[in-house]
Structure 1
Amino acid sequence: MCDNENCYKLRKGGAFAINKDKKIAYVAQQAWIMNATVRQNIVFGKNFDQQWYDEVIEACALLSDFNQLTAGDQTEVGERGINLSGGQKQRISMARAVYSDSDIVLLDDPLSAVDAHVGQHIFTNCIKGLLKDKTVVFVTHQLQFLTDCDYILVMKDGCIVEEGEHRLLMSNINGEYANLIKSFHDDGESQDGGDTGKLTKMEDSRSDKVKMATYRSYIQAAGGFCIFMVVLLLILITLSAQSFANYWLSVWFKAGSGGVLVNVTYLVNQSEVVRQEISMDILDNPKLGFYQLVYTLNLLAILIFTVVKSHTFVQAASKASSNMHGKLFKKLVASPMKFFDVTPCGQILNRFSKDMDEMDSLLPFMAEQFLNNAGIFLVTAAVIASVFPFFLIVMVMATGAFILFYRLSQNGIQSLKRIENVTRSPLFSHIAATVQGLDTIRAYKKEDNFHNQFNKLQDCNNMAFFLFETSMRWTGGILDLIAIMVIVATAVFASFSSSDIVSPSLAAMALTSALSMTDLFQYTVRVTVETAAKFTSVQRIQNYINVSDTKAPPIIEERRPDRAWPKHGAIKFSNVDLRYREGLPLVLKNITLDIKSQEKIGIVGRTGSGKSSTALALFRIIELAGGSITIDNIDISTIGLEDLRSKLSIIPQDPVLFVGTVRYNLDPFDKYTDKELWTVLSKCHVKHTIQALNGQLDSFIVENGENFSVGERQLLCMARALLRHSKILVLDEATAAIDTETDSLIQETIKEAFADCTMLTIAHRLNTVASYDRILVLDNGEVIEFDTPQKLLANKHSVFSQMMAVQESQKKSAIEE
């Protein structure tokens, strides 16, 4: 089935029939890889059959790749297969489809990411071999394979324009298919001349308690210890004012009428007798206005201090959350790529979602409850102690019991909270991976498998949450016993104390306060334990902030290059060694190259040979393990990353578009006019696609550019690079997902627009680089050949010549049959 670039959308309406009993396998254009081992990605939940498995990996040309991986097919590949090259990911996806032994196999251009040798091997041994008795729908831009297809559909603008066998379609010399094959053939002729295998890190769920450094970091983020002391002072003043209100009422009631004598009339023997007696009405007190004034001012002070305290606390808590979020985000952005290689996205999402939510909302609430209740407890204890000094003995005993119990329980409770946080990360990773591979999961009918895995991860997290909550309930029960001891002691003192020593009003006040401590004491200690548990989220965020391994600074003031750098674009690799992480084998080995200004270099080789790693080294995405790279005689390791990367442009193998408008994706800093944007879109042959959109340049692009085809995404990335017009350009399989006709036009645009640039092009379509100044052939991270294409093609034993011979034979078979 031959596919043109505009046929990625299905028309609405009509009917589509398929036997529901038939199993379907699907290989997406952009391979979906789970964060698991290579074998688990291939077997994909089916029973393991060693013999069939060996046949599949041989047909998909994966044996040599297994030998390169640290633990063979037991190597963990990381999030989105980050440990693999584009070709390796595609072949694993292909192996998954073949191993599934499905009746219908849908292949969406799977050979675009592999070189000619491997592509021919897969087509011969896999598609024509192991899948010979299956129904295969093969969408491709690799026209050389169409001669062996039983039936061909030619699509254009979402419609089938031709269909039939290869010979029949070629007989129509003016037909769409014949023109495509002729263009493909002519285009080729014109160009002549650690733990082994373990990748991701598990989160630390050790039982160590929250350290004092965590509390200090939170206080510093909130504004420092001065703000902290101000908040504490405001809380104590507010609580003291509230206690003073109760105290003043007891004084007021004790004063009664103030000893004022009032006339009381009695009826004795039917005659009125007037006597003077002390009034029992507090309203008769001559100092009534004074008592009312003090009480009113105290209430007003309570109101003012409560508002000021609440506002100050909320501002401090918000500032702490904002500052720690900013530090976390900056630290993650500044982290080297190896950090993201070994850290699943679920762990990062967990920090920015649940951990940040607990620090934003739950922690301030619990902390305020803790400070308020601790203050109330201290004030209440002081009131009781002022009435019964001997009560201090009971309070010391109760406090000792509280401290002992807190020390015994805090480690266990904090560990349970930490386990709850840790078990949430795999859940987030699973959800993210499921959303990314939804098409593949549905095609293989693996919804139940992923649903069951989700339930297992959810149950694991719920179990930890349940244990945390039950431990808090157990804590509350124990604390009730301690509170009852305090109440009993207070009641005993109140009952056996003389009224001459303690007035009934003060005794009642002390007993009431003691009764209130039943709930207060239990809740205060529980809030203390829970607040400390919530600080595990702060600790987890702080652990990320404190990661010592960061990438180089964006700007090094004393080593900034000239603004016009690089003027020439000359690149020199000197004994360059590169490895992705410590303990892993080198992916580039002693690479030495001298690339002249404005030279066009084609980089070819088998998948996994180190082609993309060369680009990563140039951009310092991964720092060198040895050697040096200079651009215009400046060692790139000595300058800031912003100064380096702002001068380079890349069109990656996997095109990247951001959520936003087309304009934002092309010109995020708003430096260019609309005319300039339309010009580059026209040069990249994607102008008509953007014009067809409702908002044109202001049309919205969804996440990952899913509302565009892969080929259109690559064209938009190319337009972005063309707009910057950097002196050095790297193209990493930039036209792999584009049809042959558009590819030819794009190659002409590249030649014209980047004529004065130094260009490094990584390619599997050898005809796209056959006219370049020199060809670099890599194998297993080493330079095999580096010379002009004419000299390499003249040597029939050269690797490049053999690769070209394979591709030319495929083209000839396509035009001759």
Structure 2
Amino acid sequence: MGFYNKFSRQQCIYIYTIVMISTVVVAITRSLIFFAVCMRASMRLHNRMFNSVVHASMYFFNTNTSGRILNRFSKDLGSVDELLPYAFIDTVQLLLNLIGAIIVLAFIDPILLAPTALVAVLFYSARNLYIKTSRSVKRLEGVTRSPVFAHLNASLQGLATIRTHLQEQVLVNEFDSLQDIHSSAWFMFLGCSRAFGMWVDLICTLYIGLVTFSFIIMSDSYKGSDVGLAITQCIGLSGLVQWGMRQSAELENQMTSVERVLEFTRIEHEPDLESAKDKKPPASWPKYGRIEYIDCSMRYSMLEPPVLKHLNIVINPKEKIGIVGRTGAGKSSLISTLFRLAYIEGQILIDYVDISVLGLHDLRKKISIIPQEPVLFSGTLRHNLDPFHEHTDDNIYRALMDVELRNAVQRGKDCLDDVMTEGGINISVGQRQMVCLARAILRGNIILVLDEATANVDSATDKFIQTTIRTKFAHCTVLTIAHRLHTIMDSDRVLVMDAGQAVEFDHPHLLLQQRDGFFFDLVRKTGPGVSDRLKKVAQESYEASRKAGKK
């Protein structure tokens, strides 16, 4: 009591006030520092994952749905941003409070540590059992959530088609089924948490009973104040333990989100985007458009067999090459090798330059492609045609005139400010393809790739595109993956692919003379009338090329 008699009541009030204010200041400072660190860590995780996904190889996007990727950036990062910091700080805080309560009990009577140790063992066992179960259930919940995102994303992209075919109810039923599966996993997780809380409450009640019973047995050895303090601490300790166990378990469960985010930071990247200084090609490359495959094989993953096998072909400058084959023969894979979208063995030379030593930017910007599904971005028509602002409005408008885009012809240069929605869904498929064709004309590359570019357009648009390509790209090397055989019957040569190999490569008329050949079989299957017309086109093209050669 002598220590307390040194201070007056007023001084004690001042001291208590200073301690309380200091506690508040320290608590606020602690929270600010902690959440600043958490925010910085979350931003670094997001940036690392974003950069990893942006630079991921095409194989990653082929094997991971958009829903799974969106799930990582939405739900998992949301957990890292919002739930994980609170679970972490609560766990640390409750652990320190727990240690303080145990120290108080030890000061009252060290014997009370015996039931505390027993209950601690029970808590630890129950927590381990819960963690093993809840972690798996939480991971299952995350896995079942991705299909919901993927289905919703696909439904939004194909909304016009769904409504056209009156398939709304089918899609609703599919979504409900996926949502039910996810809800089952979510309620299973909630059930595990509630069951764990119930068992923690039972163990806490057992602990309070043991401590109270020990005081009843040895009632003469303790003061009433000590007994009251001990039981009060036990009751408080029970609440701390229950919430602490649940929060520590929640902390480990939320760490699965960190695990899933880190998984996406370790994605295998594409090769370097920029060429080394001593390997950078001249600005005029490629000048001729000669392409040579030397013992070239290609696979999408090092764990899978090659889809292209030992190709040895030469495509001469300005040649128009048609590429045909059955589904899965390797037509699109052949085009993928030009853009280095997968693992390549052997060599591919463009104008005698090995493309494996080039940066992806230097390579891909020199090859134009018109895909089967035209790619347009949200923004103006000008931005879609000239995203890097390299051309004047006159040149851009001239390219639109070349493809006779009706809106451009009627409205003049004002059409360049027309807004395109994402994917270009506010214009028809044929118009989207014309925009892509105008973009290729504007780009002016010596190599053009058409990946079944006319598969989804009407015959009139198909004919116009073919005519435009023959006139505007007469000086270019053109590779055409054919969906309709009539588009490649007047090609200089046709490359026939089968099972990843080049089985035939010659003028279509000469290939049709081989009655046991692959190309002859493809033409024959179009029917007598169509095959006769195709043969006639091939023959006329062959005779015209021979006459031109003689001249």
Matched, 1:645 2:369: no
Mapping 1:375-454, distance limit 5 Å: 375-438=96-159, 447-454=168-175
- Structure 2 residue matching 1:590: 3-state secondary structure: strand
- Structure 2 residue matching 1:776: 3-state secondary structure: strand
Q: 2:400–2:408: 8 Å Cα contact kept in structure 1?
A: no
Q: Distance in 1 between matches of 2:423 and 2:437?
A: 16
Q: 2:320–2:493: 8 Å Cα contact kept in structure 1?
A: yes
In structure 2, the partner of 1:663 is 382
Aligned AA for 1:475? F
Aligned AA for 1:806? V
Mapping 1:612-631, distance limit 5 Å: 612-624=332-344, 626-631=345-350
Q: 2:292–2:312: 8 Å Cα contact kept in structure 1?
A: yes
Aligned AA for 2:402? K
Give the one of 254, 260, 282 matched to 1:534.
254
Shift of 1:539: 1.8
Q: Distance in 2 between matches of 1:654 and 1:687?
A: 20
Matched, 1:703 2:422: yes
Q: Distance in 2 between matches of 1:474 and 1:693?
A: 70
Shift of 1:523: 0.8
Q: Distance in 1 between matches of 2:7 and 2:331?
A: 98
In structure 1, the partner of 2:479 is 760
Percent identity of equivalent pairs: 38
Q: Distance in 1 between matches of 2:56 and 2:488?
A: 35
Q: 1:764 to 1:481 in 2, by over 3 A?
A: closer
- Structure 2 residue matching 1:552: 3-state secondary structure: coil
Matched, 1:332 2:53: yes
Shift of 1:296: 2.0
Give the one of 18, 24, 36 matched to 1:303.
24
Q: 1:423 to 1:399 in 2, by over 3 A?
A: same
Q: Distance in 2 between matches of 1:531 and 1:362?
A: 8
Matched, 1:593 2:313: yes
In structure 2, the partner of 1:520 is 240
Shift of 1:749: 4.2
- Structure 1 residue matching 2:271: 3-state secondary structure: coil
Q: Distance in 2 between matches of 1:497 and 1:693?
A: 100
Q: Distance in 2 between matches of 1:353 and 1:524?
A: 27
Q: 1:388–1:493: 8 Å Cα contact kept in structure 2?
A: no
In structure 1, the partner of 2:530 is 806
TM-score, L = length of structure 1: 0.57
Q: Distance in 2 between matches of 1:318 and 1:660?
A: 32
Aligned AA for 2:136? S
Aligned length: 528
Shift of 1:650: 1.0
In structure 2, the partner of 1:87 is none
Q: Where in structure 1 are there 5+ consecutive unaligned residues?
A: 1-250, 259-284, 813-817
Cα deviation 1:104-150 (Å, max 9, x = unaligned): xxxxxxxxxxxxxxxxxxxxxxxxxxxxxxxxxxxxxxxxxxxxxxx
Mapping 1:27-106, distance limit 5 Å: none
- Structure 2 residue matching 1:557: 3-state secondary structure: coil
In structure 1, the partner of 2:446 is 727
Q: Distance in 1 between matches of 2:165 and 2:12?
A: 82
Aligned AA for 1:627? G
Aligned AA for 2:388? F
Query: Rg bigger for which structure?
Result: 1
Q: 1:392 to 1:671 in 2, by over 3 A?
A: farther
Q: 1:514 to 1:693 in 2, by over 3 A?
A: farther
Q: 1:754 to 1:358 in 2, by over 3 A?
A: same
Q: 2:68–2:150: 8 Å Cα contact kept in structure 1?
A: yes
Matched, 1:635 2:350: no
Q: Is the helix fraction higher in 1 or 2?
A: 2
In structure 2, the partner of 1:83 is none
- Structure 1 residue matching 2:56: 3-state secondary structure: coil
Q: 1:690–1:697: 8 Å Cα contact kept in structure 2?
A: no
Cα deviation 1:383-436 (Å, max 9, x = unaligned): 443444444444333333322222222101211111222222233333344445
Q: Where in structure 2 are there 5+ consecutive unaligned residues?
A: 537-551
In structure 1, the partner of 2:276 is 557
RMSD: 3.8
Shift of 1:756: 4.2
Give the one of 359, 374, 378 matched to 2:95.
374
- Structure 2 residue matching 1:707: 3-state secondary structure: coil
In structure 2, the partner of 1:210 is none
- Structure 1 residue matching 2:343: 3-state secondary structure: coil
In structure 2, the partner of 1:603 is 323
Q: 1:374 to 1:569 in 2, by over 3 A?
A: same
- Structure 2 residue matching 1:593: 3-state secondary structure: strand
Q: 1:304 to 1:503 in 2, by over 3 A?
A: farther
